[in-house]
């Protein structure tokens, strides 16, 4: 807890607001120590208070929780030497979601962020039809050091992967880290590599799929390649060829919903097992009876899309360290690939 009587200056290290589920207000007092005459108050406070983003600072100012020499001022106010700032910070509101003791495959964790390897079948965030059993429910239980996001006690989701896609996700524990990661994702400086088993003999052996995406008119829950849609680009490389399928490495240039799944369908090579984008039955027609039986056996092993988020790389927003994680293929994909290799012989 931050003492209401303690004062801070620009010579002090950045403040770190401890997590607290209480609705009590914690007072932070700062004395402005800067010779710069063009510093906005919101920018100055964001640099001085370690885990509050600039947008969060502005929201607190709009709510009248920040005063300068006893007066409420705008975020654009230009600070001067020796002015006194008082910020009344409310503790994070309790999350309406229920923490659940669900096992997590944690690949990295510190006080700022956590990297998890999500299993297929787990929804990332509660939604209609999935009120519990999600990654967020598990993180609320696992992470006892959440500092709050936007005034609420919750983890900060930077990106998501589909329920039936397995693989790596990074989640922020506090606002500044969330903002730093989100900036990297927006600027496309992160490394995100997926692996997929796609129908057919994908040619050429490497390339780029550039096709804009938007919602389908007939089903607003699904997406498709549409004229005037949002820019979307995916790079691919063939890693291995089988009689009916290709194992691909795919790198996202953009991160649209269902992007890889739609792009591969658009290219004529939907992902094996994808129930929404042509991967389960669309291509069974031309197969022989023996091939159809073989594919049916594969579906028994892998009753989902064969898509895995295998590599995730980014720069740690707090430490500046380059972090890179690799996740092995899940068991169902490993079994299918072994079966495909056996059939190739």
Residues 98 and 77 both lie in one domain:
no
For 7-43, what is each residue's pLDDT tens digit?
333 344 444 444 334 456 778 888 998 877 788 999 8
The pTM for the full model equals 0.77
* CA-based max dimension of the chain: 83
Give the total residue count for the chain: 345
Residues 225 and 79 both lie in one domain:
no
Over range 321-335, report the average pLDDT.
97
Q: For the stretch 190-207, what's the b/e string if a residue is b when 16 or more beta carbons lie within 10 angstroms of its beta carbon?
A: bbbbbbbbbbeebeeeee
The residue annotated as part of the active site, out of 42, 162, 164, 224, is: 162
d(CA 231, CA 15): 39
Residues 206 and 140 both lie in one domain:
no
Q: Confirm whether 299 is domain-assigned.
A: yes
Q: Which of 144, 16, 113 is nearest to 314 (CA)?
A: 113
Whether 239 and 249 have beta carbons less than 8 Å apart is answered as: yes
* For residue 158, pLDDT beyond 80: yes
**β-bridge pairing 307-315 and 166-172:** parallel
Residues 145 and 35 both lie in one domain:
no
Domain end, chosen from 29, 59, 90, is at: 90
Q: Confirm whether 2 is domain-assigned.
A: no
CATH number of the domain within which 335 lies: 3.30.2350.10
Q: What strand order describes the sheet that includes 84-90?
A: 7-8, 25-31, 84-90, 66-68
Q: What is the pLDDT of residue 147?
A: 77
CATH number of the domain within which 44 lies: 3.10.290.10
Peptide bond into 204 cis (omega under 30): yes
Residues 345 and 212 both lie in one domain:
yes
Residue recorded with tokens 């983890």? 155
Q: Confirm whether 1 is domain-assigned.
A: no
Q: Confirm whether 225 is domain-assigned.
A: yes
DSSP helix/strand/coil, 115: strand
**Domain of residue 24, residue span:** 7-90
Q: Which two tokens stand for residue 83?
A: 């002015």
Over range 274-290, report the average pLDDT.
83
Residues 227 and 320 both lie in one domain:
yes
* For residue 94, pLDDT beyond 90: no
pLDDT range class, residue 284, cuts 50, 70, 90: low
For 99-117, what is each residue's pLDDT tens digit?
999 999 999 999 999 999 9
Q: What is the pLDDT of residue 12?
A: 43
Residues 179 and 222 both lie in one domain:
no
Burial tier of 182 (Cβ tally within 10 Å: 0-12, 13-18, 19+): middle
Residues 134 and 271 both lie in one domain:
no
Q: Confirm whether 181 is domain-assigned.
A: yes
For 301-327, what is each residue's pLDDT tens digit?
999 999 999 999 999 999 999 999 999
Residues 204 and 320 both lie in one domain:
yes
Q: Confirm whether 264 is domain-assigned.
A: yes
Domain end, chosen from 166, 187, 208, is at: 187
Q: What is the pLDDT of residue 16?
A: 40
d(CA 294, CA 340): 10
Q: What is the pLDDT of residue 282?
A: 58
Residues 49 and 181 both lie in one domain:
no
- How many CB atoms within 10 Å of residue 159? 18
* For residue 1, pLDDT beyond 80: no
For 198-256, what is each residue's pLDDT tens digit?
999 999 999 999 999 999 888 888 899 999 999 999 999 999 999 999 999 999 999 89
Burial tier of 64 (Cβ tally within 10 Å: 0-12, 13-18, 19+): exposed
* For residue 258, pLDDT beyond 60: yes
Domain end, chosen from 158, 187, 216, is at: 187
Q: Which of 157, 158, 111, 114 is nearest to 134 (CA)?
A: 157
332 catalytic per annotation: no
For 160-178, what is each residue's pLDDT tens digit?
999 999 999 999 998 889 8
pLDDT range class, residue 291, cuts 50, 70, 90: very high
Q: Confirm whether 30 is domain-assigned.
A: yes
For the chain, give the mean pLDDT.
87
Return all residues near 179 (Cβ < 8 A) that are at least 6 apart.
53, 54, 55, 317
Whether 299 and 273 have beta carbons less than 8 Å apart is answered as: yes
Over range 169-192, report the average pLDDT.
91
Q: Confirm whether 233 is domain-assigned.
A: yes
Residues 328 and 207 both lie in one domain:
yes
Q: What is the pLDDT of residue 50?
A: 63
Share of the chain above pLDDT 90, in %: 62
DSSP state of 186: H
Number of domains in the chain: 3
pLDDT range class, residue 51, cuts 50, 70, 90: low
Residues 37 and 129 both lie in one domain:
no
Least confident of 102-106, 148-152, 258-262: 148-152
């Amino acid at each position: 807890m931050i003492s209401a009587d303690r004062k801070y200056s620009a010579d002090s290290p950045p403040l770190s607001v401890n997590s607290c589920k209480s609705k009590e207000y914690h007072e932070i007092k700062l004395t402005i120590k800067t010779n710069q005459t063009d510093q906005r108050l919101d920018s100055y406070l964001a640099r001085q208070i370690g885990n509050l983003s600039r947008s969060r600072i502005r929201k607190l100012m709009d709510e009248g929780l920040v005063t300068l020499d006893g007066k409420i001022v705008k975020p654009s106010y230009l600070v001067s030497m020796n002015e006194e700032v008082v910020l009344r910070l409310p503790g994070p509101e309790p999350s309406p979601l229920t923490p659940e003791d669900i096992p997590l495959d944690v690949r990295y964790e510190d006080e700022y962020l956590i990297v998890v390897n999500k299993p297929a079948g787990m929804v990332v965030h509660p939604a209609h039809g999935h009120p519990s059993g999600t990654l967020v429910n598990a993180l609320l239980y696992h992470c006892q050091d959440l500092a709050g996001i936007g005034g609420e006690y919750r983890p900060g989701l930077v990106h998501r992967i589909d329920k039936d896609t397995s693989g790596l996700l990074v989640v922020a524990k506090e606002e500044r880290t969330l903002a730093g990661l989100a900036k990297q994702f927006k600027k496309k400086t992160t490394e995100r590599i997926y692996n997929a088993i796609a129908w057919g003999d994908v040619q050429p052996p490497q390339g780029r799929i550039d096709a804009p995406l938007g919602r389908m008119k007939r089903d607003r829950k699904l997406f498709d390649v549409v004229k005037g849609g949002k820019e979307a680009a995916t790079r691919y490389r063939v890693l291995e060829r089988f009689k009916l399928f290709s194992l691909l490495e795919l790198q996202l240039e953009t991160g649209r919903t269902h992007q890889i799944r739609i792009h591969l369908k658009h290219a004529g090579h939907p992902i094996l097992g994808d129930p929404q984008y042509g991967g389960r039955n669309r291509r069974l027609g031309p197969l022989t009876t023996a091939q159809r039986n073989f594919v049916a056996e594969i579906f028994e092993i892998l009753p989902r899309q064969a898509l895995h988020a295998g590599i995730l790389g980014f720069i740690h927003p707090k430490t500046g360290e380059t972090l890179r994680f690799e996740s092995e293929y899940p068991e169902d994909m490993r079994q299918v690939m072994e079966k495909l290799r056996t059939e190739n012989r």
